[in-house]
Amino acid sequence: MSFNQPSVSSAVKNQYLYKLKGYSSVFVALMTVQIIAMFFGVLGGVGQYGTSNGSMYLDLYYVSGDLIFAFTCIWAFVIAFTMDSKTNRQAMQVFVTNQLTRHLANGIYLVTLSIIGAITVLLGGFFIKSIVMILNGPESTFIFVGYTIGDFFIGLATTSLYLLLCSAVGYFAGKIASMGLVAKLVLIIGFLSVLFYNGLIERISEFFIMEDVFSIFILKVLVTSLVAYVMAIWLSKQLEVIK
């Protein structure tokens, strides 16, 4: 019997590396949802406007990676929702772990997924535009919005933060769902209330999307994500006490 106690950092590192290597289906799901989003993006773009003047007809398409971003946000939410499920917790029993190291490893893993997801969202947007140009040929006129290296990194940071927010909310929702049937019903009712209550979802969206100051936007996302994650950890502790 060994009396050597692994450090918190060592335990977190081992669990994190295991998740990166063992959860390959997460990246398969990411590629799948983004390919589906690209397909719809190539077919119809994000926005369309048509007008005519006598014999001349003008058809305008707005093409971007917005649809890929939306699909990836759903992916981040679902992955985080199932991250700390009973099956995944049982798989971690091969490691020396406790609540702290498990949640820390999950959090770092979700941050990694958010960054990877953000990179693929931006690259997917460029890919869609390239495909649309190839398919339409020289008969179409293309108007490009200026895009610098600085814009790319700002876009990367912004997209990563949005995905992190979705994953934190998903992680919290997953812990609520694991509390039993009543909690699941409360979660569903709460989700439907946010979805259909007049103006509520718009206010929530505007709180994050309409922020002009980038530093304040970062603060909003990080604080909201941290609160959701801490509440998920607190619920996890309550569940273990009940059991």
Mean pLDDT of 161-178: 90
pLDDT at site 219: 93
Would you say residue 146 has pLDDT above 70? no
> For the packed helices 66-83 and 99-136, what is the interaxial angle rounded to 10 degrees?
160
- CB-based contacts of 128, cutoff 8 Å, min separation 6: 38, 41, 42, 63, 64, 65, 68
Of 45 and 228, the structure prediction assigns the larger pLDDT to 228
74-127 pLDDT, tens digit per residue, is 999 999 998 876 666 666 655 556 777 888 889 999 999 999 999 999 988 888
Closest CA to 122 of 88, 158, 174: 158
> Domain coordinates of the chain in residue numbers?
8-152
| pTM for the predicted model, two decimal places | 0.82
33-75 pLDDT, tens digit per residue, is 999 988 887 666 555 555 656 666 666 666 677 888 999 999 9
Closest CA to 164 of 239, 225, 108: 225
Average confidence score pLDDT of the chain? 79
Of 48 and 208, the structure prediction assigns the larger pLDDT to 208
CB 42 within 8 Å of CB 131: yes
pLDDT at site 3: 47
